[in-house]
């Protein structure tokens, strides 16, 4: 396998094992974890830009007021996505969260049709329809919308929709977004610290290292993903992306004993069949197409 494949495997594997990392922080409130994720990832990304001498290029690409507004919306969507995900993992809903990332590509495709006037091929319509049936079945079976999955899928799909027309690439874009969120995130962490509720420096060195490491587990897979996207075909990258939610699902069921009832099996099964159709159709339609690094990132 070439370096692109290894980079993609590493990125999706890190994303897949993030639930275990977050479980180690389950005594820390979700909002505080997100605050640390924002602050430390921003600092790490700025350090990366300085180390690679990319800061001047980043400054020259800084967007105008109108585009900066789009990045503000993107940053808010990203923070919502992170907050819902962290809360879901530490509240025992890893399986539900994984469903969100299974259906996310299909939601993105649907947004492309509704908002960007893109056209779907017949097999793609079938995949979207099957996924919708799966979500509807889960809703009827449990008497409530699978809101965790839908919140994750829609927030990330909207984030990707905004980033699709954004001028910055994945890394400078994420640096700008975490920069926008940096002061509010830092202010919140200082607030909880002054009210004696903060975990940082109060719950032991292990928790401190894990909180600082939130920046690494945010930025590192993105660096690997960007490297992979430059080197391997779009179809292969699309197939590999399901490693992340598959690992999350298996971790939720096998390690943390989250319930996976027959109703969930039917609902998830419909979504999995939809993804199989979608992935195979894409692989057959674009067997050798390559891409530049996508603007959207995984949570």
Note the pLDDT tens digit of each residue in 50-70: 888 777 766 766 666 667 788
- Residue 101 placed within a domain: yes
pLDDT tier, 238 (very low <50, low <70, confident <90, very high otherwise): low
- For the segment 217-231, the average pLDDT, to the nearest whole number, is 80
- Residue 298 placed within a domain: no
| Distance (Å, whole) CA 142 – CA 134 | 12
**Residue 216 in contact with residue 47, Cβ under 8 Å?**
no
| Distance (Å, whole) CA 278 – CA 268 | 15
pLDDT (tens digit per residue) in 122-143? 888 888 888 889 889 988 887 8
**Residue 95 in contact with residue 264, Cβ under 8 Å?**
yes
- Residue 290 placed within a domain: no
Nearest to 103 by CA among 237, 245, 254, 282: 245
- For the segment 9-27, the average pLDDT, to the nearest whole number, is 93
pLDDT tier, 292 (very low <50, low <70, confident <90, very high otherwise): very low
Give the chain's domain count: 1
- Residue 296 placed within a domain: no
Residue 26 has pLDDT above 50, yes or no: yes
Residue 293 has pLDDT above 50, yes or no: no
Residue 172 has pLDDT above 90, yes or no: no
Residue 161 has pLDDT above 60, yes or no: yes
241: its two tokens: 């992306």
Quote the mean pLDDT of the chain.
84
CA angle 57, 116, 123 (to 5 degrees): 115
- Residue 27 placed within a domain: yes
Q: What is the pLDDT of residue 65?
A: 66
Domain that holds residue 244: 3-285
**Residue 246 in contact with residue 97, Cβ under 8 Å?**
no
- Residue 292 placed within a domain: no
- Residue 279 placed within a domain: yes
pLDDT (tens digit per residue) in 261-283? 899 999 999 989 988 888 787 76
Task: Provide the percentage of residues in the chain whose pLDDT is more than 70.
Answer: 88
Q: What is the pTM of this model?
A: 0.86
- Residue 157 placed within a domain: yes
């Amino acid at each position: 396998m070439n370096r692109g494949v290894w980079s993609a495997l590493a990125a999706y594997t890190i994303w897949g094992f993030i639930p275990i990392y977050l479980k180690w922080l389950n005594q820390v409130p979700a909002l505080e974890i997100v605050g640390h994720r924002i602050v430390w990832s921003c600092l790490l990304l700025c350090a990366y830009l300085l180390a690679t001498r990319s800061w001047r290029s980043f400054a020259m690409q800084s967007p105008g007021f109108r585009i900066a507004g789009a990045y503000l919306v993107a940053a808010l969507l990203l923070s919502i996505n992170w907050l819902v995900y962290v809360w879901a993992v530490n509240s025992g809903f890893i399986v539900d969260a994984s469903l969100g990332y299974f259906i996310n590509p299909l939601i993105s495709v649907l947004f492309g049709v509704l908002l960007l006037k893109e056209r779907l091929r017949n097999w793609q319509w079938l995949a979207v329809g099957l996924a919708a049936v799966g979500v509807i079945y889960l809703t009827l079976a449990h008497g409530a919308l699978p809101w965790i999955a839908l919140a994750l899928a829609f927030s990330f799909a909207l984030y990707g929709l905004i980033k699709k027309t954004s001028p910055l690439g994945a890394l400078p874009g994420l640096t700008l977004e975490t920069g926008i969120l940096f002061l509010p995130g830092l202010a919140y962490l200082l607030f909880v610290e002054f009210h004696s509720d903060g975990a940082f420096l109060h719950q032991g060195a292990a928790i401190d290292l894990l909180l600082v490491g939130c920046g690494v587990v945010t930025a590192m897979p993105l660096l690997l993903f960007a490297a992979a996207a430059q080197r391997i075909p779009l179809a292969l990258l699309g197939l590999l992306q399901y490693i992340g939610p598959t690992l999350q699902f298996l971790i939720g069921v096998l390690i943390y004993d989250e319930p996976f009832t027959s109703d969930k099996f039917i609902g998830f099964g419909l979504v999995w069949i939809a993804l199989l159709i979608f992935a195979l159709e894409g692989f057959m339609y674009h067997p050798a197409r390559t891409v530049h690094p996508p603007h959207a990132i995984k949570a």
